[in-house]
Amino acid sequence: MSLFKKHEALLTNAIDALHKRTFFAAYPEHPAPAIYGEKADAEGQEKFKASLNTKFQELKQEGATSWIGVEESPYTQEQLGVKYPAFPVDTLITRAKSAYHIWRKVNAQERAGILIESLERVKARFFEIAYATMHTTGQGYMMAFQASGPHAADRALEAIAAGYEELQRFPTSILWDKPMGKFNIQLNKEWHVVPKGVSLVIGCSTFPTWNTVPGLYASLITGNPVIVKPHPGSVLPIAIVVAEIQNVLAENNLDINICQLAVDTFESTITKQLAEHPDVKLIDFTGNSLFGSYLEALPGKMVFTEKTGVNSVIVDSVVDADKVAGNLAFSVSLYSGQMCTAPQNFYIPEGGIKTPNGVVSFEEFAQKIVDNINSLVDNPKAGPFVLGAIQNKNTCIRVLDAENLPGKVWLKSRSVANPMFKNARTNTPVVVEVNASNKDAFSKELFGPIVLLIKTKNTDHSIQLAQEMAIHHGAISCGAYTTDASVRDRIADEMALAATPVSFNLVGGIYMNQNAGFSDFHVTGGNPSGNASFTNPEYVVKRFTWVGHREPVPVG
């Protein structure tokens, strides 16, 4: 049985899910033994531990000029000691160019089968990847498992499905017959999909697989060879994925350089060399706006970016202020706010928040936020695992600097002991009240567990500020709370004009940080937070070109 036939039903279901936008998950998100096996967790942890202080020799790339690796665990604050094969930029490019002419001639069905098979191989390593993610990003165990395993695999499958569907949109050949009265003109027409060329996927430090695999698989399904350049601080999770892709390529007698890993160090980066190389035609990037804008400005490149944004929460009226405060407290604490979708600016009317039991004042609601954060982070069974650890030391500095913003500090950040890792680098959320007139203080992303409470004149003022921040500085998510249908419609419309999706009235176990594969578009591409959205059709169709040929039908 071909790999396409083996996975055809899954691909069909994935394409169907793209259109329906209802819940669909090919890979179960719960690390239950009944799903993944009784020994899966323990074996994954052992494999991760066995990889420490060794060379990562699973890649099939040959002729490394050196072995490098600088990853540090945010939980132990010690080097992982994993070394990866390093190659000159010209070697990576030359190999990718050669592989291009092999991969582009593999038909879409075969490519889809190979790529979905690679995801099945990755599935068998979800737990190993989870521990690798924990100790490179600082994510808590559950998030590390879900985000780098099942959720990432779903996003990858989503990209495969979207790409495969677009590749099937038009016929490959037809007989064109035009009546001309007494005779017909007949032409044989054929269309070829021509992939754009060498693709570079630049990973980020906080979500090394979730943010990388959409671009990786979108380029691969559309026939482009890919060079994966992970963040120096988070290599191992995506290295495992690349290794499994190479395994499947080799088993199918294809050039393993169709997908290569390119590593570097903080001191000697190769990202710009790769990005500026004339043979690199596609670039996917997740990271800060400065570098993302630089990439977008490079001539002759098709660039897909997810950059920074200023995410807002508009609070107008609520059914239960305590439940809302609890939901928002969890949102800002989850992975210590190190998510591109985490809320930052909370717009609250100076006249307070309407509830069925009367008005909750600005100060009362601010205190509810503080109390709920403290209750969560001080819970030894929940706090340390929800917070995780801080990936980058600079984030710790940023959190402390936030306490110096002009305004009342409602809650200072502090460290919380992690019962499993005594040296874990932690910071609880800092909460600061900022004057609405001081836009400089809240018009940029303050990455990390930082909450700004902004007292507005009224809800109209809140909407105006949230929209302004999104239009001029970007936003990936927005939360809103209102019991008034007309206010809801106005928020939805105004934020839609700012190309920002809104999560309304979330309480309980769903948070504005979260995005669901096959249903939620991640980033819209319509404001400064990024120029692309995965996974919509544009995300894949820009990676290839339709080229048609025609000739007269032979007479007789």
pLDDT in tens, 397-409: 999 999 999 999 9
pLDDT exceeds 80 at position 354: yes
- SS3 breakdown of the chain: % helix, strand, coil, rounded to 5? 40, 20, 40
DSSP tag of 428: P
Q: Is 433 exposed, middle or buried (0-12, 13-18, 19+ CB in 10 A)?
A: buried
Query: Where exactly does CATH 3.40.605.10 map onto the chain?
Result: 3-14+36-174+186-308+534-545
CATH of 3-14+36-174+186-308+534-545, one of 3.20.20.70, 1.10.150.120, 3.40.605.10, 3.30.420.40: 3.40.605.10
Pick from 217, 195, 203, 164: which is nearest to 97 by CA?
Answer: 195
Task: Give me the pLDDT at residue 1, please.
Answer: 82
Contact 256, 61 (CB under 8 A): yes
* Alpha-carbon span 378 to 396, nearest angstrom: 19
Q: Is the pLDDT of residue 3 over 90?
A: yes
In contact, 121 and 244? CB cutoff 8 Å: yes
Local structure of residue 212 (DSSP, 8 states) = T
Helices 126-137, 40-51: inter-axial angle, 10-degree rounding: 50
* Mean of the per-residue pLDDT values of the chain: 97
- Region of 243 please: left (phi>0), alpha (psi -120 to 50) or beta: alpha
Tokens of 421: 């890792």
* Residue 379 DSSP symbol: -
Contact 222, 540 (CB under 8 A): yes
Residues 6+ away with beta carbon under 8 Å from 248: 3, 114, 117, 118, 121
Instruction: Tell me which DSSP letter residue 429 carries.
Output: P
pLDDT at residue 292 tops 80? yes
SS3 131: helix
Q: Are strands 544-552 and 184-195 parallel, antiparallel or unpaired?
A: antiparallel
When pLDDT is cut at 50, 70 and 90, the band that residue 555 belongs to is confident
Q: How large a percentage of the chain has pLDDT more than 70? A: 100
Structure confidence at residue 423 (pLDDT)? 97
Q: Name the token pair of 347.
A: 């717009």
**Largest pairwise CA distance in the chain:** 89
Average pLDDT over residues 112-134: 98
Q: What is the pTM of this model?
A: 0.96
Look-up of token digits 């600005």: 362
Residue 303: closest CA among 279, 285, 290, 278: 285
For residues 40 and 219, give the distance between their C-alpha atoms in angstroms, rounded to a whole number. 31
**Neighbour count for residue 353 (Cβ, 10 Å):** 23
pLDDT tier for residue 497 given thresholds of 50, 70 and 90: very high
Residue intervals in the chain for CATH 3.40.309.10: 312-504
Residues 312-504: name the CATH superfamily.
Aldehyde Dehydrogenase; Chain A, domain 2 (3.40.309.10)
Positive or negative torsion for Cα 156, 130, 478, 394: negative
Look up residue 312 and give its two tokens. 């807002």
Half-sphere exposure of 323 (CA within 13 A, CB side): 12
CA separation for the pair 66, 268 (Å, rounded): 13
Distance CA 119, CA 136 (A): 21
